[in-house]
Structure 1
Amino acid sequence: MDTDVINVDTSRRRIVDLTDAVRSFCGARQDGLCNVFVPHATAGVAIIETGAGSDHDLVDTLERLLPRDDRYRHRHGSPGHGADHVLPALVSPSVTVPVKNGEPLLGTWQSIVLVDLNRDNPQRRVRLSFLSG
């Protein structure tokens, strides 16, 4: 298995497109599976369409589902930080995509994104792993 870690700053964006980084990582390889994993308790990875409003819709939906108030038992950090710890139950911390001839086999409008609503920790690590097939 080949693996690499990229650093991502989410201080200005809640959704960060990782597709180009994943394509670059896979480009030197042939056929197999690429796993994208975020080793954080308050972030996730998703495959969505970006640039047409879906990324904003996802953030709006998650903020409605996970309001930032005092209802959470997990209370350290900024107000509503407990919601950040529930996020990975809704947005998985990893996705795996098939790769053929070094190209991730994504659909026409699909992008791989990091989802991070946590205001307390904007520095994220994303692990890319490739398993030859």
Structure 2
Amino acid sequence: MRQAVHSLTIETNGKGLVPIDRPVLHWVAEQGIETGLLTLWCRHTSASLTVQENASPEVLTDIARYFDTIAPEAPGRYTHDDEGPDDMPAHLRTMLTQTQLSIPVADGRPVLGTWQGLYLFEHRRRPHRRTVVLHLLGE
């Protein structure tokens, strides 16, 4: 049994879903582990991770719009606004999504469906530099 750990730095342009498939798939392939479990961990409380459709950009637009309705930026609505009106909504959106993903690895690749992509979901308006930690365990 072997394991490997790596940190990815993801630059965001503000709110939205950022595809992270390429660097994740590349790193997993480099490890030479054929069968195992990949864990992705987002080290932030205002960004999250998700597996989502990668074929239609409209899906990503609709997801972002949906989150704008369930956790809106509304000045005066939230007590916590230390970093501006998008601060608390970003925390709520992270709480409603995931900061960790576990994906089986078979034949040296994460087992994703045909239309599944990996995304960092940035919940803040400003661009950020986000860290996603990858942990691969297997043989």
* TM-score after normalising by structure 2: 0.88
Once the two structures are overlaid, the 10-residue window that deviates more, 119-128 or 27-36, is 119-128
2:25 is matched with 23
Is the Cα contact below 8 Å between 1:43 and 1:117 reproduced in 2? yes
Is the Cα contact below 8 Å between 1:46 and 1:115 reproduced in 2? yes
2:112 is matched with 106
Aligned-partner SS, 2:105: strand
1:62 is matched with 67
Which consecutive aligned stretches of 4+ in structure 1 deviate over 3 angstroms post-superposition?
none
Q: Which structure is larger by alpha-carbon Rg, 1 or 2?
A: 2
Deviation at 1:50, TM superposition (A): 2.4
Deviation at 1:78, TM superposition (A): 2.1
* TM-score after normalising by structure 1: 0.92
1:67-78 paired onto structure 2 within 5 Å: 67-70=72-75, 71-78=77-84
Cα shift readout 1:1-49 (whole Å, capped 9, x = no counterpart): 3110011111256211111112112113211011111110111100000
Cα shift readout 1:51-99 (whole Å, capped 9, x = no counterpart): 4111111111111111001311211112231111112211110111100
Higher strand content, 1 or 2: 2
Identity %, equivalent residues: 23
